[in-house]
Amino acid sequence: MTMRIDLHTHSVVSDGTDTPTRLVLKAMEVGLDVIALTDHDTFDGIPEAIEAGKRIGVKVMCGIEMSTQLDGHSVHLLGYGCDPFHRPLVQELAKIRVARTGRLKAFAERMTELDMPLGVDDIIAAAGASPSIGRPHVADALVAKGYVEHRDEAFDKWLREDRPGYVPRYACELSAAIDLIHEAKGIAILAHPWGRGNESVLTAEVIERLTTEKGLDGIEVNHPDHDERARELLFALGGRLGLIRTGSSDYHGLGKRNNPLGGENTRDTAYREMLRRIRLRGGIV
């Protein structure tokens, strides 16, 4: 029996729309055996997800998606099996989340300048109880005000990096983030390395250097943002470099309609290699 495995998902604890419990229930409903909850820059949803997983019969891995940067370009890094109480990692995540909240005033002012009056409280209301507030919540606030129809329209018109509503924020250096994940006893896997134009940032040469010099553990190969060509090239590159090659949906609930839960899967062999490396580091499996 092969297992069905989806190792990149979000809950309302960051910019997904399902509670951790609802996420695990849906994972069971679509026939997944293993999921990882990988909220942006926070482990806050992990205890609820693991508890729900035990009740419902879905294995839940402790995961995180860290906001990092390389040469000023945004890069997302997945961490698996980390000790969620590891001090330096916890402190870095807190620093990123403070920067997330710190830019809300600039978003509100920018939208207001763009003739879409918006207050910080509108964004906070859209974010609910999330400790990790991001552009999707700004998008939700714009939807609530009736300025756009849905998140995708908000990004395409206003929030993408090349759009007038974009406000940058602090992110951790990529190499420092890999070190932090390793120090916290986890393994580091690049999320959607060639999604959304990042092919020119995370080139084959850069991925090779991260592998040999930083001990990068793997790359996401199958991801909704990767076309067939990217998948083939990344699969070959990962094989040549001895990287773990994963496949994941990047599920965000209603927040990303093209990313159904379980829509992409990680192979058993890759999952087992992840567990082996996490155990070697002393992390949580």
- The contact set with Mn ion (CB under 5 A) reads 15, 65, 76, 191, 250
Q: Check if the beta carbon of residue 46 is closer than 8 Å to that of residue 84.
A: yes
What is the contact mask toward ligand AMP in residues 11 to 30, using x (rule: CB under 6 A)?
----x---------------
273 is a site residue for ligand AMP (CB under 6 A): no
208 is a site residue for ligand AMP (CB under 6 A): no
Q: Rounded distance, CA 227 to CA 250, Å?
A: 15
- CB closest to ligand AMP, residue no: 134
Binding residue (CB under 6 A) for ligand AMP from 86, 135, 192, 223: 135
- For 191, phi then psi, to 5°, come to -80, 140
Binding residue (CB under 6 A) for ligand AMP from 4, 145, 157, 160: 160
> Which H or E run includes 152?
helix 151-154
Map the footprint of ligand AMP across residues 69-98, applying CB under 6 A. Answer: none
DSSP state of 2: P
Nearer to ligand AMP, 156 or 213 (CB): 156
Q: 38: which 2 tokens? A: 């990988």
Q: How far is the CB of 37 from ligand AMP (least distance, A)?
A: 14
Q: How far is the CB of 281 from ligand AMP (least distance, A)?
A: 26
Kindly provide the residue ranges of all beta strands, DSSP E only, lying in the chain, ordered along the sequence. 5-9, 34-37, 59-70, 73-80, 172-173, 187-190, 218-222, 244-247
The identity of residue 119, as a single letter, is G
Q: 161: which 2 tokens? A: 């990096």
134 is a site residue for ligand AMP (CB under 6 A): yes
Binding residue (CB under 6 A) for ligand AMP from 43, 80, 147, 155: 155
Nearer to ligand AMP, 8 or 281 (CB): 8
Q: Rounded distance, CA 147 to CA 285, Å?
A: 44
Residue 133 CB partners (closer than 8 Å, separation 6+) = 97, 100, 101, 104, 123, 124, 127
Residue 190 CB partners (closer than 8 Å, separation 6+) = 75, 76, 77, 78, 202, 207, 210, 216, 218, 219, 220
Q: Which partner from the list Mn ion, ligand AMP, none does 103 bind, CB cut-off 5 to 8 Å by kind?
A: none
Q: How far is the CB of 64 from ligand AMP (least distance, A)?
A: 13
Q: Which partner from the list ligand AMP, Mn ion, none does 191 bind, CB cut-off 5 to 8 Å by kind?
A: Mn ion
Q: Which partner from the list Mn ion, ligand AMP, none does 160 bind, CB cut-off 5 to 8 Å by kind?
A: ligand AMP
Q: Rounded distance, CA 99 to CA 101, Å?
A: 5
Nearer to ligand AMP, 133 or 284 (CB): 133
Map the footprint of ligand AMP across residues 213-252, applying CB under 6 A. Answer: 252
Which residues contact ligand AMP by CB under 6 A? 15, 40, 67, 134-136, 151-152, 155, 160, 252
